[in-house]
Amino acid sequence: MIKGLIYDFDGLIIDTEICDYHSWLEIYQEYDLDYPLCEWQKIIGNYSAIPVPLDRLDRLAGPIDRNAIDKRRMARSTELALKQDLLPGVMDYLENMRLLGLKAAIASSSPRTWLDCILKPRNLARHFQTIVTGDMVNQVKPSPELFNAALKILGITPAEALVLEDSVNGLIAAKSAGIRCVIIPSSLTRGMDFHDADLVLDSLDSMPLTTLIEHFNGDAPDA
């Protein structure tokens, strides 16, 4: 019986990933360099205190003022993300969770400060019992630590949870935590290999929450 949903954030609730990618691409273009999409796709769903694109830029065009560039890039990414709408179906899911008595969490590799920049203006945090972020754990996705932490706080077992993700790293993390995973590809992860997913949806708008829960309650794993 599904008792709770664990949501990824970037690319799942709002398509911030494309904002992040474009902000890095703009920085690279200032140095007459390209930042191939395939390189960005490798790190979607992951996060490090020293961003991979920054290290790459330093190798290709350094020495650079790393702090100044990262601060400017983050400001640009936030600017773009604040203009993004919620992805299709997200608000319906958030509003219907309470009607169905479901618990909910966000488990994101990104730091809490980043999520707050996007969540607070929209008052979205009220929909979740907990928000677990990359700066709260030792290892981010593809480690299962974020999802394990969310399960513990929600007080549910892996069999009672459902993860909603958009990335391969998130899928690996969910499976490592023993949780069934629904993939809703983002604009940047569409076409990637999600063969291990329990279900792949074009968008949350393509399947009502009640139908999704019925689907998985009818396919419950053995306890």
Structure tokens at 52: 């991979």
Please say if 10 is a catalytic residue: yes
- Give the separation between CA 114 and CA 110, rounded to whole angstroms: 7
| Nearest by Cα to 105 from 145, 46, 162 | 162
Whether cis (ω within 30° of 0) applies to the bond prior to 185 is no
Which residues, 6 or more positions from 8, have their beta carbon under 8 angstroms from its beta carbon? 45, 106, 107, 108, 163, 164, 165, 166, 167, 170
Of 8, 20, 70, 198, the catalytic one is 8
Please say if 92 is a catalytic residue: no
What residues are annotated to the active site?
8, 10
